[in-house]
Structure 1
Amino acid sequence: MPDAVLDAARRFLTSFVKPGRILVAVSGGSDSMGLLFALHSAIAEVKNGFSLAACTVDHALRPGSAAEAEAVGRFCAELGIPHHILRWEGNKPRTGIQAAARNKRYELLSVAASALDADCIATGHTADDQRETIAMRGARHPVEGEMGEGQGAAGMAPTMLYARKIWVLRPFLRIHRAEIRAFLNARGIGWSDDPSNVNPQFERARLRADLDASDSASATVWSGAQRATSSARAAALIEERVKVYGALVAEIATAEAGKMDDPDWRRALMSVAAVLGGRDHLPARGTIQRLSGFLQSGAPGRMTAGRVVFDRRRRGLYLFREPRNLPVLSIEPGGEGLWDGRFSITSRGPALTVSAGADGAALRQRLIDAGLPKGAAKKVSEVAPRIVPAEAGTSGGEAAVIECRIGLYDTFLPGFDRIMADAIAVLFGRDRYPAPPVHDVLTEKEG
């Protein structure tokens, strides 16, 4: 009888553009232990340039976690696989602990990948995890498929870019946990069970119990290929319809802006708005519905949503940051900081102060010369960053490197959204995101 787990590991290796070093995230649970051993076995078969490293992140949230990480280290030593243990030090948040742990886990895995010279990270997420993720996102946003703006309708992507620098790959998304445990049991390999997986204090554990009882998930599911197709079309619409000036303001023809019955255009427009507003997420469904009504009406006017002004004039629709609650940021000499969620600013040497206002008349004139109406140019200049160095005689432009931040994708970029993310990056004067180390897996038959 074919071994689905080992076959999945073999297929995963054949998906790479070229062989490299894979860092496996190993918690000690059955899914990650199965992934590590399956990849180790598959690489031993092919002997064609692949190598493994492993990392265990000890979140230090319960007794016994350090011992479990050490047990993984011993298992890796038996296999001849380099292994690092990284511990989450410091105080832990009182609320949202699982989300914070997830963010810290990827941060530390990225550190380990750099230290171990890995080309990518592989995680043991399974078909069971996928089912739970889709159901969780469906419970939070029960109509996101109807609106077409939801970020989770296709569940977890088989590829995900973390922090614009390291790809996280999920080769077991079509493999069930029971298959992995059978694979390990047949080889006499044990694992540890995290008690938080059945702790009803946590949303995923509660939902897992409900799904186990019902054996069904109610969320409407897109396939990864459908999501990728939607993202590619949204990217084309962005390139066709949206013009951005100085990463500060977007211009869209009024007739094009009003086509809000098109879900891909809605998502494209709301994504551009999220960047201009310095947000990491799209507006809520109700807000999108109100915006749709406003834009479809066609009459001149303004509406503010998600910290963005939608300023519709006869010659076009203009989107820019609303002039409220703009922060003041201090940056140490040679340091960096994020201003207003919109701009990453790095000092070239001196200490800096960043506030709103830019260089007033000079910026307004540049925007007008680029084709922006005078009234819109004035408002946009008021919400642009003004960088003042502590040392006299150095201009802000000389003292700092400024880059637009794309909060939707700069931390976590699902592979099926990369074409759309690239279109937004180019629109805002950024380089495209790095390509994944594997061939496109979304065109394969999904089961």
Structure 2
Amino acid sequence: MPKAVIVAATRFLRSFSRPGRILVAISGGSDSKGLLVALHSALGAAEFDAFSLVACTVDHALRPESADEAAAVAAFCASLGIPHVICRWQGDKPLSGVQAAARRKRYDLLAETAATFQADCMVTGHTRDDQNETIAMRGARDQGEGPGSAGMAAAMLYGRRIWVLRPFLEVRRTDIRAFLEARGIGWIDDPSNVNPLFERVRVRASLGASDHVSASATAGPKRAASSARAAALLREHLRVHEGLVAAVEATQAARMDDPDWRRALMTVGAVIGGREHLPGRTTIKRLSGFLQSGEAGRMTAGRVVFDRRRSGLYLYREPRDLPVLRIGRGESATWDGRFNVTSLGPALTISAEAEGGAWRQRLIAAGLPPGVAGRASLAAPRIAPAEAGDLGLEATAARLECRIGPYDTFLPGFDRIMADTIALSFGRDRYSAPPVDEVLTEMAR
């Protein structure tokens, strides 16, 4: 029903805590074009006078005709009086994983554009069809304790910079196209959307017109409730020392049959290991068996040592395959996926701490067993001027902060409570709140 498109756009605008400027990511396809037109139409109502729209098209430069298509979108936006910019993906493209790389680059360029326009958020045209495909793809993979049946969140924070909102997650593509056709508006069909080399295209073909995998109305709220409980368990049972060691009470360590605790512990492990994703089901099952046995010992999973002792469980990065990173004066970079380092003076070299360094003494002073402190310190960052000799962290002008791998790039709205708890445990600030009512973000429904 075309009416569903306008209803969804109106409901979305009413969910804002205050009026704002919205950046629409528009490719020229039916979904994003329908979103732009629906929002533009809804803004004609007096109640939304204080809102404004801007738009951005990312030209990935992967097809010869992409530049002309982006120009056509620019002309369409101009006809509606909507400010629009084109951002082009410059440089060489990867030979493999091009869709994942394009997605990351697209969000980077959109975030930069949002900052330029001083937009309060950006919106994308993801539909119920996209949601179905995402759920099917995640179900086919071995994603361990990942989002799974919750699908895409209606709100996602990108790079701690900008909230990405998805107003059309409950709207069918056929309704959007009917909405555009009723207004005599065409759209561009990207040939990659029918290229069977891509997983999503194959899944789309297998699903056809069925709707049997669609996320239920309670999937997001259930995920939010799970994250809230996981956060409570972490606050009660977890302590993080110097961003290097996560310590868990001995009695809690074995409770891996609790799905909320299991996901919480695996997420903390991903942070300790500098990873963005949790281990797969097979690894988690093996690790659960080890922890539930109650026996002392060590097991490594996802670059993390799970060190089980009478005094508790200790998680720390295994001391191998640690990189050497050089950054220029005043530059920032991420070391080992775990620490963001910013030079406040000269060029720096970041490498692993030598045995018996200052980090070991700090961890011992924090009350950790000497054996744990010694092993964990071998994976600690050693920061020194790039041209200098053996100087320690204290003598170096640098800012060091823990990176929260699972959430610092893509944070689903329904995980924000747990993400905040983990961030605070590692000495980081809370994540910013979305500009919309939290009903939309599926955190309090």
> Shorter-chain TM-score: what band?
over 0.9
- Percentage identity across paired residues of the two chains: 68
> Which residue of structure 2 aligns with residue 381 of structure 1?
377
Instruction: Name the aligned partner's letter for residue 337 of structure 2.
Output: G
Shift of 1:65: 1.2
Shift of 1:139: 1.1
> Which residue of structure 2 aligns with residue 131 of structure 1?
132
Mapped to 2, the partners of 1:238 and 1:60 lie a distance apart of 45
RMSD over aligned CA atoms reads: 2.2
Mapped to 2, the partners of 1:361 and 1:60 lie a distance apart of 49
Shift of 1:190: 1.1
Instruction: Name the aligned partner's letter for residue 421 of structure 1.
Output: A
Corresponding residue SS for 1:304: strand
Corresponding residue SS for 2:232: helix
Q: Is the 2:414–2:441 contact (alpha carbons within 8 Å) kept by the matching residues of 1?
A: no
> Which residue of structure 1 aligns with residue 98 of structure 2?
97
Query: For each residue in 1:239-258, what CA deviation from the matched residue of structure 2 results, as whole angstroms up to 9, or x when unmatched?
Result: 11100100000111111000
Shift of 1:392: 5.4
> Which residue of structure 1 aligns with residue 419 of structure 2?
421
Q: Is the 1:244–1:250 contact (alpha carbons within 8 Å) kept by the matching residues of 2?
A: yes
Corresponding residue SS for 2:362: helix
> Which residue of structure 1 aligns with residue 42 of structure 2?
42
Give the alignment's TM-score, normalised by structure 2. Answer: 0.95
Instruction: Name the aligned partner's letter for residue 79 of structure 1.
Output: L
> Which residue of structure 1 aligns with residue 206 of structure 2?
210
> Which residue of structure 2 aligns with residue 326 of structure 1?
322
Instruction: Name the aligned partner's letter for residue 197 of structure 1.
Output: N
1:180 pairs with 2:143: no
Q: Is the 1:25–1:123 contact (alpha carbons within 8 Å) kept by the matching residues of 2?
A: yes
Give the alignment's TM-score, normalised by structure 1. Answer: 0.94
Query: For each residue in 1:316-341, what CA deviation from the matched residue of structure 2 results, as whole angstroms up to 9, or x when unmatched?
Result: 11110111111111111111221111
Mapped to 1, the partners of 2:19 and 2:355 lie a distance apart of 50
Shift of 1:381: 1.6
Shift of 1:445: 12
Query: For each residue in 1:110-145, what CA deviation from the matched residue of structure 2 results, as whole angstroms up to 9, or x when unmatched?
Result: 11111111110000100011111111111113xx6x
Greater displacement, 359-368 / 57-66: 359-368
Q: Is the 1:135–1:219 contact (alpha carbons within 8 Å) kept by the matching residues of 2?
A: no
Corresponding residue SS for 2:109: helix
Distance 1:328 1:391, change over 3 A: closer
1:68 pairs with 2:66: no
Residue 359 of structure 2 is aligned with which of 357, 363, 384? 363
Distance 1:223 1:30, change over 3 A: same
Shift of 1:225: 0.5
Instruction: Name the aligned partner's letter for residue 396 of structure 1.
Output: L
> Which residue of structure 1 aligns with residue 88 of structure 2?
87
Q: Is the 1:416–1:442 contact (alpha carbons within 8 Å) kept by the matching residues of 2?
A: no
Q: Is the 1:138–1:219 contact (alpha carbons within 8 Å) kept by the matching residues of 2?
A: no
Instruction: Name the aligned partner's letter for residue 234 of structure 1.
Output: A
> Which residue of structure 2 aligns with residue 352 of structure 1?
348
Mapped to 1, the partners of 2:214 and 2:105 lie a distance apart of 30
Q: Is the 1:276–1:308 contact (alpha carbons within 8 Å) kept by the matching residues of 2?
A: yes
Mapped to 2, the partners of 1:402 and 1:330 lie a distance apart of 14
1:150 pairs with 2:146: yes
Instruction: Name the aligned partner's letter for residue 270 of structure 2.
Output: A
Corresponding residue SS for 1:153: helix
1:437 pairs with 2:435: yes
Distance 1:131 1:325, change over 3 A: same
